[in-house]
Amino acid sequence: MDQIANMLIAIKNGGLVKKTTVTLPSSKMKCAILELLKQEEYIKTYKVTEGVKPTVEIVLAYKKDTPRITGVSRVSKQSKRIYTGVKKITPFKYGHGMTVLSTPKGILSDKQARKELVGGELLFTIW
C-alpha cells in the first residue's frame, strides 16, 4: 500500500468529520511532507512519538468551520512515477492549491521548486 496516499486521505477525512487530530504510523518521508504542509498552513502542527512503532499525531487546521484540506490527488504512484522539469511546473488551481514534489533539495511545493530552479517527482496535489 502507498503510505503517502493513506496519510493524505486520513488527513482529508479527519477534517471532513471535524476531528482535531489524526494519528498515523510515522516515517521520514511523512515527516518531511508534514513539515511542508505545516509551513503552507494546511495543518497546524504535528508531533512524532517514539517507541516500538513510532507514530505521528497531526493537528488539523480549519478556516472558519471548514477544513483547510478539502481534496487531495496522488499524481505519482508506485506503478507509474511522474517526473517534471522546472519549466513545466505550473501553479495548481490558480494558486489556490499546491503541488508537492520530491526533488534533490528535499520535499518542496511547486512555488519553492520554481524558486530553487529544480524539478523532480510529482508526488501529489492538495487543495
**89 vs 98: CA distance, rounded Å:** 11
Which residue ranges form the domains of the chain, and what is each CATH number?
Answer: 3-67 (3.30.1370.30), 72-126 (3.30.1490.10)
**Start-to-end C-alpha separation, the chain:** 23
Q: How far apart are the C-alpha atoms of 64 and 86, rounded to whole Å?
A: 35
Q: Which three cell numbers stand for residue 117?
A: 530552479
Whole-model pTM: value is 0.91
C-alpha cell at 63: 478556516
The chain-wide mean pLDDT, for the chain, equals 94
Cβ atoms of 90 and 97 closer than 8 Å? no
Tens of pLDDT, residue by residue over 55-93, are: 999 999 999 999 999 999 999 988 999 999 999 998 888
